[in-house]
Structure 1
Amino acid sequence: MVRLPLTVADIERGQRLGTLLRRARAERTLFETALTAGISPDTLRKIETGRVPTPAFATIAAIGSALGLSLDTLWEQISESDDSDLPRASGGPCAG
């Protein structure tokens, strides 16, 4: 299967996703969050730093659930061009 090159929009969206996840993680360690999500800490680190700008849907769903962020909230936040007002997670269960 041939992977298409990432667009500038894909890369920017990945950077916004990483910022959102870092902020939502707040006081939790990367290791704790990754284990709760069922992924490796290295994978979470790569997503948070934008090195994996287009992670798999299941990975995003697992991280969102671990951080108490619904998929709707994640999409709303990463689809916007301004990330200055990204919310912190409430710590509650994921609604989506």
Structure 2
Amino acid sequence: MVRLPLTPAELERGQRLGTLLRLARGERAMLDVALEAGVSPETLRKIETGRVPTPAFPTIAAIADVLGLSLDAVWAEVRTSQDGVGPSRPRRRSHERVAS
């Protein structure tokens, strides 16, 4: 499977996510937050610095939970109109037919 390069908007969103998590962590030690979330400190560091701009959902959910952030709040903070991403809507699966 070939992974397409990330767009500038995706990279920027990763930076915003990292900044949000870093600010929410405050004075708490990165090691403590990472261990409580069940991720490695290196993973948390990479997310906070934007080196992993598209982390897995369970990873962000676990970190957000430890930091007391709702996923709705995280999404609202990192999403902007310049992302080219509109409001969340269900996507049609490839096996579903479009009603005519």
TM-score tier by shorter-chain length is 0.7 to 0.9
Deviation at 1:80, TM superposition (A): 3.2
User: Match for residue 28 of structure 2?
Assistant: 28
Distance 2:73 2:12 in 1: 17
Letter in structure 2 aligned against 1:41: P
With normalisation by structure 1, the TM-score equals 0.82
- Tell me the alpha carbon deviations over residues 52-83 of structure 1, each in whole angstroms, 9 at most, x when there is no partner: 000000100000001000110000000137xx
Match of 1:3 in 2: 3
**Where does residue 97 of structure 2 map in the other structure?**
none
The letter of the residue matching 2:56 is A
Displacement, 1:49?
Answer: 0.3
Deviation at 1:27, TM superposition (A): 1.3
Question: For structure 1, which runs of at least 5 residues remain unmatched after alignment?
Answer: 82-96
Within 5 Å, give how 1:44-83 maps onto structure 2. 44-80=44-80
Question: Which entry has the higher C-alpha Rg, 1 or 2?
Answer: 2
Q: How far 1:45 sits from its partner (Å)?
A: 0.2
Within 2, Cα distance between the matches of 1:75 and 1:2? Answer: 27
Q: How far apart are 1:4 and its partner, in Å?
A: 1.1
Report % sequence identity: 70
Structure 2 distance, partners of 1:37, 1:59, is 8
- Matched pairs, number: 81
Give the gaps of 5 or more residues in structure 2. Answer: 82-100
Task: Specify the alignment match of 1:38 in structure 2.
Answer: 38
Q: What code does the residue aligned with 2:41 have?
A: P
Counterpart amino acid of residue 79 in structure 2: S
Structure 2 SS opposite 1:6: coil
* Distance in 2 (alpha carbons) for counterparts of 1:19 and 1:80: 15
Q: CA deviation at 1:14?
A: 0.2
- For 1:80 and 1:65, the matched residues in 2 are separated by 22
